[in-house]
Amino acid sequence: MSEKRKQIIEAAAKSFSLFGYKATTMDQVAKMANVGKGTIYTFFKSKEELLEEIVSSIISEIKCEADAAIDQSLSFNENVQRALQRIFTFRKEHELTIKLLQEVRDIGTPAVRDVMKRLDREMIAYVRGKIEEAMAKGEIRSCDSELTAFLMFKMYIALNVEWEKEHEPLSQQKIAELFHLYLLKGLSP
Amino acid sequence: MSEKRKQIIEAAAKSFSLFGYKATTMDQVAKMANVGKGTIYTFFKSKEELLEEIVSSIISEIKCEADAAIDQSLSFNENVQRALQRIFTFRKEHELTIKLLQEVRDIGTPAVRDVMKRLDREMIAYVRGKIEEAMAKGEIRSCDSELTAFLMFKMYIALNVEWEKEHEPLSQQKIAELFHLYLLKGLSP
DNA sequence: ATATTGACCAACTTGTTCATTTAGTCATTC
DNA sequence: GAATGACTAAATGAACAAGTTGGTCAATAT
């Protein structure tokens, strides 16, 4: 894999998380990556595709971290909870996701909105996979995996993001308890 | 209560739900209400206060409808479910709430955003009241009523509004089942 | 040949001006 | 004294100029 390609991705990722997608110019990226602007276009057909590439690797990274949080000796409930906690901790602490979510909220840049929507969809798909595994093993009762993953994800957003808009933030401990109490009890076999 | 005041409220409500808050002018409201523009300001100190007044009566109306859906002979689970269903059916079918929610989404008019936020807060407070009643009666186990009401509301938004953005809408029947399965099981005493 | 480049261009933003519109007031009318 | 609509200051937006920026491509370097 080309060295220049890596430089470009790295420069763009840094600039996106520093200034946001809209405020990053391709001239800027070229300068930071020590390449001519034209070179960027031999690897990526547009600024948007460059963003997509970067977000794709973020998605892989998140999935990887979530997988690392899973411990086969624990129950499905414990594991899905740990995976979701990882996913949202990442979202909250990673410079780039913070900046991009801000940009969607404040400016609504369409390209960024789309790409963050994809990130959400992929996280839901990830959880869905875990649910299907657990169903196959008989760890949880049969259910619509898409719907269940969707609800788990939305509940985590409610607890991690929306609650804080009008109340004191909840500790991860408290979120885990609530998640268990409200959502998982309904899935026990 | 003044007849003119009623005319003004009625005219404004009609214009807001027809054209939205921003696109409604006070001249327009005065004309529709058959009063001079100055008269509006003897009853309301600003356009924003006029909107607040109208939304306040919407809130009362929704609470009233939700109360009507409650049947003392049924369980808490049944009733909270019926009340929430009423609230969201109203939101979805009432001309004015539809138009105002659109306006928040598309233009983000601050006055409208604030007033719709208040509507949400009041609906959560309403549900919270029902939860506290049920706790007092021992119908459900003890819990943080604010947090529980918040989660119930967010779950209903997820099922009624957000799911439809990427999937086929769910029937009210299906929503009731899911709500019961996922959220209420965790509250049984 | 192939990879790289940066000057170049069309499309899009941004800044500015100026005419129109509109929320809110108040002297006048009924 | 309640109601009004002409009036005003502020906000909006249309129109235009100036400046940026994403993307291309002929020229250059390897």
pLDDT tens for B21-56 read 999 999 999 999 999 999 999 999 999 999 999 999
The confidence score (pLDDT) of residue A187 equals 61
The confidence score (pLDDT) of residue A1 equals 52
The CATH number given to whatever domain includes residue B1 is 1.10.10.60
Interior angle at CA A178, CA A174 and CA A179, nearest 5: 115
With CB atoms and an 8 Å threshold, state whether B186 touches A187. no
- Asked if A29 and A78 sit in the same domain, the reply is no
- Asked if B120 and B182 sit in the same domain, the reply is yes
The confidence score (pLDDT) of residue B30 equals 97
Residue B157 C-alpha from the chain's centroid: 12
Q: What is the mean pLDDT of residues B114-137?
A: 96
- Asked if B28 and B74 sit in the same domain, the reply is no
Nucleotides of chain C touched by protein CB (<7 A): 3-7, 21-27
Nucleotides of chain D touched by protein CB (<7 A): 2-6, 20-26
pLDDT digits (tens, 9 = 90+) for A81-98: 999 999 999 999 999 999
B67 vs chain A: nearest CA distance in angstroms? 25
Percentages of chain A per state (helix, strand, coil), in multiples of 5? 80, 0, 20
Question: Is A173 inside a domain boundary?
Answer: yes
Question: Is A183 inside a domain boundary?
Answer: yes
- Residue by residue, what is the 3-state secondary structure of B72-102? CCCCHHHHHHHHHHHHHHHHHHCHHHHHHHH
- Asked if A64 and A101 sit in the same domain, the reply is yes
- Asked if A74 and A165 sit in the same domain, the reply is yes
Residue nearest the C1' of C5 (CA based) = A36
With CB atoms and an 8 Å threshold, state whether B163 touches A183. no
The confidence score (pLDDT) of residue A8 equals 97
- Asked if B23 and B101 sit in the same domain, the reply is no
User: What count of other Cβ atoms lies within 10 Å of the Cβ of residue B152?
Assistant: 25
Q: Which of A121, A158, A185 sits opposite B154 (nearest CB)?
A: A158
pLDDT digits (tens, 9 = 90+) for A100-150: 999 999 999 999 999 999 999 999 999 999 999 999 998 888 999 999 999
Are B20 and B99 within 8 A, CB to CB? Answer: yes
- Asked if A59 and A135 sit in the same domain, the reply is yes
Backbone angles phi, psi at A109, to 5 degrees: -45, 120
- Residues of chain B in contact with residue A146, where contact means CB-CB under 8 angstroms, are 167
B12/B118 Cα distance (integer angstroms): 19
Are A138 and A189 within 8 A, CB to CB? Answer: yes
The confidence score (pLDDT) of residue B183 equals 82
Proximity of residue A35 CB to strand C below 7 A: yes
- Asked if A34 and A77 sit in the same domain, the reply is no
Could you give the 3-state DSSP secondary structure of residue A71? coil
Domain count, chain B: 2
Proximity of residue B2 CB to strand D below 7 A: yes
The confidence score (pLDDT) of residue A141 equals 87
- Asked if B61 and B113 sit in the same domain, the reply is yes
- Asked if B66 and B107 sit in the same domain, the reply is yes
A13/A20 Cα distance (integer angstroms): 9
The CATH number given to whatever domain includes residue A70 is 1.10.357.10
Q: What percent of chain B has pLDDT over 90?
A: 89
Boundaries of domain holding B163:
52-187
Proximity of residue A31 CB to strand C below 7 A: no
A161 interfaces chain B, CB cutoff of 8 Å: no
With CB atoms and an 8 Å threshold, state whether A185 touches B185. yes
- Asked if B72 and B13 sit in the same domain, the reply is no
B154/B150 Cα distance (integer angstroms): 6
- Asked if A13 and A89 sit in the same domain, the reply is no
Termini Cα distance of chain B: 48
The confidence score (pLDDT) of residue B189 equals 55
Question: Is A50 inside a domain boundary?
Answer: no
With CB atoms and an 8 Å threshold, state whether A183 touches B187. no
